[in-house]
Amino acid sequence: MGSVETPRERVLVLYGSLSPEVEESIREMFADQELTIYQPKPGEVTPPELYRKATILATFSHLPKPEDAQNLKIIHSFSAGLDHLINNPLLKEGRIAITSSSGIHGPPIAEWTIMNWIIASRKHFQIYEAQKAHRWDDKDQYLRGNHDQAGKKVGILGYGSIGRQIGRVSQALGMSVYAFTASPRKTPESKKDNGYIVPGTGDADGSIPVSWHHGLDKASLHSFLSLGLDHLVISLPLTPQTTKFLGAEEFALLSASSTSKAAKPYITNISRGRVLDQDALIEALNTGHLSGAALDVTDPEPLPEDHPLWDTPNVQISPHLSGIGREYLPRSLDILRINLGRLARGEPLINAYGGKGY
Amino acid sequence: MGSVETPRERVLVLYGSLSPEVEESIREMFADQELTIYQPKPGEVTPPELYRKATILATFSHLPKPEDAQNLKIIHSFSAGLDHLINNPLLKEGRIAITSSSGIHGPPIAEWTIMNWIIASRKHFQIYEAQKAHRWDDKDQYLRGNHDQAGKKVGILGYGSIGRQIGRVSQALGMSVYAFTASPRKTPESKKDNGYIVPGTGDADGSIPVSWHHGLDKASLHSFLSLGLDHLVISLPLTPQTTKFLGAEEFALLSASSTSKAAKPYITNISRGRVLDQDALIEALNTGHLSGAALDVTDPEPLPEDHPLWDTPNVQISPHLSGIGREYLPRSLDILRINLGRLARGEPLINAYGGKGY
């Protein structure tokens, strides 16, 4: 049916290295279109004739010269952010729509986040070490220290697609969710997530938070940190305004306002290392003002082998991989698949930069 | 207000060892009642005069002689099951209501379950080992193997309070939930959870599953295992009928009906070790028919140091502690607190054995 009604686009997918299985699934997704998959080797320039032919380009960072982009209607980026693309001369004229992969990171990063919380609150690495040693620990040693998330409060700094999926799972765990955004979200319309949402996930209408807070000034942030939070999740974009947004003063405030008898507040950073003062974080963990931290990002990355953060008490570090997994590419291309349908029907594209769409 | 309207009961709480902090929180919970907390030492008999005075008893297993129980109206058990109590002569006459702590285990066991899934699907113990070695792994090595739960199917054998909280979190993760119960649940009323539910958790009206299945015969089970499940959670009570309910044939069927390209089915056992054929499980894991198993229970317990299960590929073993944590006792006593209000108002008790209530 679709193949009769939908005009065939000439889709060029550029991706470094694909397993045969993923390549096959891409061919299935775009069976209605004329598809070219090209896997450039590191440093290789994609042959210009491939660009010239394409009407649709899916790419991380490879872009054609303007003279080779005459037929392009959409450039779909495999990245969530488009900063690395929007200053390209090709895109400045505004004729070609650019779409991002924003929205696909919610499930893996929310799972990474929740997993870290539970490992920490259950001391589960101890259990893992006991299994390696074939040791059946007496459960009484875990009885008083272990706790769970039901009834606890999570504050989410940056309530985008990732923050929303963390909010969704948190609510299911029995927690109260507090959202913090840079700009005010006072109307139902402004609370909505209008981007791509992985089916069955997220918070499309923004109904999960018990309250919304906003502002990038210290007073707004401090008011948010005084809510008595058990968890603080940092999923803000890194900008000049959010660099070292949290430091010694903020960690002290968070700690002092905590009312839980189970544990001091726990920090999760899935933004960028420099969004917080890392030395102040280490100090707050060493002194017990915070009960722990899950860090997918550090400053610098990779974290040097001799850095004190590795052995700071109750820190769980991952090498900036919370968003990855085998679903990454299929979900990103699902956005493009949806947009090809919208293009054919003359509807606005989703995830389009600057709202640009055909 | 409540203190004026509610008659004072004489509440006796028997618990082996309490921290001062938990003891204080219990005193707060029952500030309206006349409360005695007694902490019997191992092997010690509780002084009979304490029993004689009490109108309400909260206990794990200590019980008075019938002649010392003249004033008792309710015995509240800190256990979810009442099997160890109901044959006591004291309770056979039916004058005293018995209430269980069923329902309080949902949050911790659901968190334990989800944590194990995500550790497995993200290979997170590798990340933990890398942190111990101060090693920032290249994320590309995790790109193709890691996966998440969104879009996957979970079958829950035994959709009680624990299964429901697992269902709730699974749905939030973007999964489809399939419920399996011993007896049919065809009416909205029969799908309800009428016991205690930790606030903000569970599936009170049974609306989460996409479909309900039932039966303790092989044909019913096999039909359920053929749904193409990615996860199978076993939270059935162990009875003669459910002993070795799952064996080689069932694991093979589960494996064969799986359609996911990400991973073979994953088993979670939070019931009892003997609900499955453990040798067959080891075989299914060794041969890759199952991608992994999270086991909070084994056969026997403790698992002997030289047992092959410890090192079976992709097995994650915990020493039967998924339900424990600092919230255990406060939640159990919250049930009693609710029931004291119900007793005062002449309403039926919740969590009462045989529906017995004042």
**pLDDT tens across A227-249, in order?**
999 999 999 999 999 999 999 99
Residue of B nearest to A134 (CA): B305
Nearest to A115 among B122, B301, B319 (CB): B122
Q: Which of A314-318, B3-7, B83-87, B260-264 has the lowest mean pLDDT?
A: B3-7
Answer yes or no: are the C-beta atoms of A160 and B210 closer than 8 Å. no
State yes or no: pLDDT of B190 exceeds 50: yes
Question: Which residue in A21, A115, A291 has the most chain B C-beta atoms within 10 A of its own C-beta, making it the best mutation to test that interface?
Answer: A115
Burial of A228 (0-12, 13-18, 19+ CB in 10 A): middle
- Model pLDDT for residues B270-318, shown as the tens digit of each residue: 999 999 999 999 999 999 999 999 999 999 999 999 999 999 999 999 9
Question: Hey, are the CB atoms on B111 and A118 less than 8 Å from each other?
Answer: yes
In this prediction, residue A260 has a pLDDT band, given cuts at 50, 70 and 90, of confident
Chain A: give the shortest CA distance to residue B140, in Å: 9
Question: Hey, are the CB atoms on B118 and A107 less than 8 Å from each other?
Answer: no
The CATH classification of domain B10-104+327-355, taken from the options 1.10.3720.10, 3.50.50.60, 3.40.47.10, 3.40.50.720: 3.40.50.720
pLDDT of residue A358: 41
ipTM of the complex: 0.95
State yes or no: pLDDT of A208 exceeds 50: yes
Contacting residues of B for A164, CB less than 8 Å apart? none
Nearest to B168 among A125, A137, A172 (CB): A172
Contacting residues of A for B320, CB less than 8 Å apart? 139
Work out the average pLDDT over A28-57. Answer: 95
Q: Which of A9-23, A335-349, B234-248 has the lowest mean pLDDT?
A: A9-23
**CA–CA distance from A98 to each of A74, A340, A351 (Å)?**
6, 13, 8
Work out the average pLDDT over B254-275. Answer: 95
Chain B: give the shortest CA distance to residue A145, in Å: 6
Question: Hey, are the CB atoms on A174 and B128 less than 8 Å from each other?
Answer: no
Question: Which residue in A29, A116, A134 has the most chain B C-beta atoms within 10 A of its own C-beta, making it the best mutation to test that interface?
Answer: A134
Q: CB neighbours (10 Å) of residue B281?
A: 25
State yes or no: pLDDT of B2 exceeds 50: no
Looking at chain B, the whole-number percentage of residues with pLDDT higher than 70 is 97
Question: Hey, are the CB atoms on B169 and A171 less than 8 Å from each other?
Answer: no
Question: Hey, are the CB atoms on B325 and A143 less than 8 Å from each other?
Answer: yes
State yes or no: pLDDT of B355 exceeds 80: no
pLDDT of residue A6: 57
Answer yes or no: are the C-beta atoms of B107 and A147 closer than 8 Å. no
Tokens of B67: 């002649």
Task: Output the average pLDDT for chain B.
Answer: 94
In this prediction, residue B1 has a pLDDT band, given cuts at 50, 70 and 90, of very low
Contacting residues of B for A305, CB less than 8 Å apart? 134-135
Work out the average pLDDT over B188-203. Answer: 97
Nearest to A310 among B131, B174, B305 (CB): B131
Question: Hey, are the CB atoms on A144 and B302 less than 8 Å from each other?
Answer: no
Chain B: give the shortest CA distance to residue A299, in Å: 12
Question: Hey, are the CB atoms on A306 and B134 less than 8 Å from each other?
Answer: yes
Q: Counting one residue from A and one from B, how many pairs have CB atoms under 8 Å apart?
A: 207
Chain B: give the shortest CA distance to residue A67, in Å: 34
pLDDT of residue A22: 86
Nearest to B172 among A125, A131, A172 (CB): A172
State yes or no: pLDDT of B5 exceeds 80: no
Chain B: give the shortest CA distance to residue A9, in Å: 28
Nearest to A147 among B115, B320, B327 (CB): B327
pLDDT of residue A357: 42
Work out the average pLDDT over B245-258. Answer: 97
Cα distance between residue A100 and residue A85, in whole Å: 10
Question: Hey, are the CB atoms on A139 and B198 less than 8 Å from each other?
Answer: no
Question: Hey, are the CB atoms on A131 and B310 less than 8 Å from each other?
Answer: yes
Nearest to B305 among A134, A148, A261 (CB): A134
In this prediction, residue B90 has a pLDDT band, given cuts at 50, 70 and 90, of confident
State yes or no: pLDDT of B134 exceeds 70: yes
Nearest to A136 among B148, B176, B303 (CB): B303
Chain A: give the shortest CA distance to residue B171, in Å: 8
Residue of B nearest to A142 (CA): B325
Nearest to A144 among B19, B306, B318 (CB): B19
Angle at which helix B248-257 crosses helix B218-225, to 10 degrees, equals: 30
In this prediction, residue B356 has a pLDDT band, given cuts at 50, 70 and 90, of very low
Residues 6+ apart with CB under 8 A from A82: A98, A100, A353
Residue of A nearest to B322 (CA): A122
In this prediction, residue A83 has a pLDDT band, given cuts at 50, 70 and 90, of confident
State yes or no: pLDDT of B235 exceeds 70: yes
Question: Which residue in A25, A118, A291 has the most chain B C-beta atoms within 10 A of its own C-beta, making it the best mutation to test that interface?
Answer: A118
Question: Hey, are the CB atoms on B302 and A136 less than 8 Å from each other?
Answer: yes
pLDDT of residue A199: 97
Chain B: give the shortest CA distance to residue A90, in Å: 30
Domains B10-104+327-355 and B106-317 share a fold: yes
In this prediction, residue B164 has a pLDDT band, given cuts at 50, 70 and 90, of very high
Q: Which of A14-23, A217-226, B119-128 has the lowest mean pLDDT?
A: A14-23
Work out the average pLDDT over A334-346. Answer: 96
3-state secondary structure chain A: CHHHHCCCCEEEEECCCCCHHHHHHHHHHCCCCEEEEECCCCCCCCCHHHHHHCCEEEECCCCCCHHHCCCCCEEEECCCCCHHHHCCHHHHCCCCEEECCCCCCHHHHHHHHHHHHHHHHCCHHHHHHHHHCCCCCCCHHHHCCCCCCCCCEEEEECCCHHHHHHHHHHHHCCCEEEEEECCCCCCHHHHCCCCCCCCCCCCCCCCCCCEEEECCCHHHHHHHHCCCCCEEEECCCCCCCCCCCECHHHHHHHHHHCCCCCCCCEEEECCCHHHECHHHHHHHHHCCCCCEEEECCCCCCCCCCCCHHHHCCCEEECCCCCCCCCCHHHHHHHHHHHHHHHHHHCCCCCCEHHHCCC
Nearest to B173 among A142, A169, A326 (CB): A169
Instruction: Domain ranges for chain A, please list them.
Output: 10-104+327-355, 106-317
Contacting residues of B for A311, CB less than 8 Å apart? 134
pLDDT of residue B85: 78
State yes or no: pLDDT of A254 exceeds 70: yes
C-alpha torsion angle, residues A143, B124, B311, B284 (rounded to 10): 110
The CATH architecture assigned to B106-317 reads 3-Layer(aba) Sandwich (3.40)
State yes or no: pLDDT of B42 exceeds 50: yes
pLDDT of residue B93: 76
Nearest to B326 among A107, A125, A144 (CB): A144
Chain B: give the shortest CA distance to residue A161, in Å: 13
Task: Output the average pLDDT for chain A.
Answer: 94
Question: Hey, are the CB atoms on B324 and A146 less than 8 Å from each other?
Answer: yes
Question: Hey, are the CB atoms on B122 and A135 less than 8 Å from each other?
Answer: no
Contacting residues of A for B306, CB less than 8 Å apart? 134
